[in-house]
Amino acid sequence: MNPEPEYREGLDELAAHYKEVLTLLGEDPEREGLLKTPMRVAKAMQVLTQGYSMDAHEILRSALFKENYSQMVIVKDIDFFSLCEHHMLPFYGKAHVAYIPNGYITGLSKIARVVDIYAHRLQVQERMTLQIKECIEQTLHPLGVMVVVEARHMCMQMRGVEKQNSITTTSDFSGAFNQAKTRQEFMNLIHNNS
């Protein structure tokens, strides 16, 4: 069982606003099924945006190890959930991250934590991809970094264009990944299902 998360300041005020939202939508926030909804939503929103209070650079530095390894390190298929800043609807998918160490490596789970930190903010996929890359680049100073994010956006599936099967892919890279051959090796490795 997961422990109850620590909530940030403003939880009661946030719940009061959600109660008002229910009223504005034409609902009765006093009916039995909705009595606890404003607080539930407020708590959910604080969890879904907890990345604002976390330092991704510090997470990487907390498990930094000197290592003489200079080949590609890939953490692929990192599941994530985020909220689009335009409609505050979820987008979700997988992030694939590679870096080529330059004297230092980090704990593999820390790469996934970096993805989670940036995903747990109001986001656009393009910025999240860039932030993940820049964090690894600025903290580890590797020979190169590449990030690919593949996601489904509920704002495209539930409203507007309503295209349920569309997937958005973004990428960003630096250093050694500026070479097409290195990028291709990464892409081959993340899409290899064997």
Full DSSP string of 160-190: TT--TT--EEEEEEEEGGGSHHHHHHHHHHH
The span from the CA of 182 to the CA of 194, in Å, is: 20
Q: Please give the pLDDT value at position 193.
A: 64
Give the pLDDT confidence score for residue 157 in this predicted structure: 85
Is 153 annotated in the active site?
yes
Instruction: Tell me, yes or no, if 155 is annotated catalytic.
Output: yes
Exactly one of 84, 123, 131, 137 is catalytic; name it: 84
Q: Which residue matches tokens 């250093």? A: 175
In tens, the pLDDT along 66-83 reads 999 999 999 999 999 999
Q: What is the pLDDT of residue 158?
A: 85
- CB burial string 21-59: b at 16+ within 10 A, e below: ebeeeeeeeeeeeeeebbbebbbebbebbbbeeeebeeb
Residues 6 or more apart whose Cβ sits within 8 Å of residue 174: 133, 137, 144, 145, 146
Low-confidence ranges of the chain (pLDDT < 70): 1-3, 193-194
What is the rounded distance in angstroms from the CA atom of residue 171 to the CA atom of residue 108?
20
pLDDT of the residue at 177? 97
Q: Which of 17, 57, 150, 155 is catalytic?
A: 155
Q: What is the pTM of this model?
A: 0.92
Whether 129 contacts 149, CB under 8 Å: yes
Is 135 catalytic? The answer is no
Q: What mean pLDDT, rounded, does the chain reach?
A: 94
Residue 180: the pLDDT is 96
Phi, psi of 36 (to 5 degrees): -100, 0
- Each residue of 111-148: pLDDT tens digit? 999 999 999 999 999 999 999 999 999 999 999 999 99
User: Is position 125 annotated as part of the catalytic site?
Assistant: yes
